[in-house]
Amino acid sequence: MTAAGDGPWLDDAAGRLVRPFTVSNGRTRPTIALDLMSQVRATGATPLGYLGPEHEQAIDLCRAPVSVAEVAAHLKLPAVVTKVLLSDLLDCGALTTKPPEFHHNPTDRALLEAVLDGLRRQL
């Protein structure tokens, strides 16, 4: 008999063996608002309590600053599930976060017109 974390989480033929929302215990809302571009980084603090294998993988991925979107891609989990996992780690002090830095005004009319022109050229 193997412990819960000992078996494979992915199967080459079948894909993910555990449903994504099982990983977050069915929760769909993180306790902390995270943007997909928010940077997260491990603090080195040892979290108290049980962590699932995805939590531990997330901590390993966050040894250097990484975006929430990158963590989701590496874990092969939906972004909302990843945000719940990362918020768990933020709550227990295992991670820190920094909001994305924009060096421009995202509602700048000239920027939006340039994006629209580029999209029109693609169609």
pLDDT in tens, 51-92: 888 888 999 999 999 999 999 999 988 888 899 899 989 988
SS3 16: strand
Phi, psi at residue 96, to the nearest 5°? -120, 160
Residue 51 lies inside a defined structural domain of this protein: yes
Predicted local distance difference test score (pLDDT) of residue 102: 63
User: Burial of 33 by CB count in 10 Å (0-12 exposed, 13-18 middle, 19+ buried)?
Assistant: exposed
What domain count does the chain have?
Answer: 1
Residue 108 lies inside a defined structural domain of this protein: yes
Distance from C-alpha of 108 to C-alpha of 117, rounded to nearest angstrom: 14
Residue 11 lies inside a defined structural domain of this protein: no
Residue 102 lies inside a defined structural domain of this protein: yes
Predicted local distance difference test score (pLDDT) of residue 61: 94
Distance from C-alpha of 21 to C-alpha of 68, rounded to nearest angstrom: 17
Element (H, E) at 66: strand 66-67
pLDDT digit string (tens) for 16-49? 445 555 565 656 677 788 888 899 999 998 887 7
Residue 104 lies inside a defined structural domain of this protein: yes
Residue 7 lies inside a defined structural domain of this protein: no
The CATH number of the domain holding residue 55 is 1.10.10
Per the structure, the complete domain to which residue 26 belongs is given by 20-119
Predicted local distance difference test score (pLDDT) of residue 47: 82
Distance from C-alpha of 43 to C-alpha of 34, rounded to nearest angstrom: 17
Residue 35 lies inside a defined structural domain of this protein: yes
Residue 34 lies inside a defined structural domain of this protein: yes
In this predicted structure, the answer to whether residue 50 has a pLDDT above a threshold of 70 is: yes
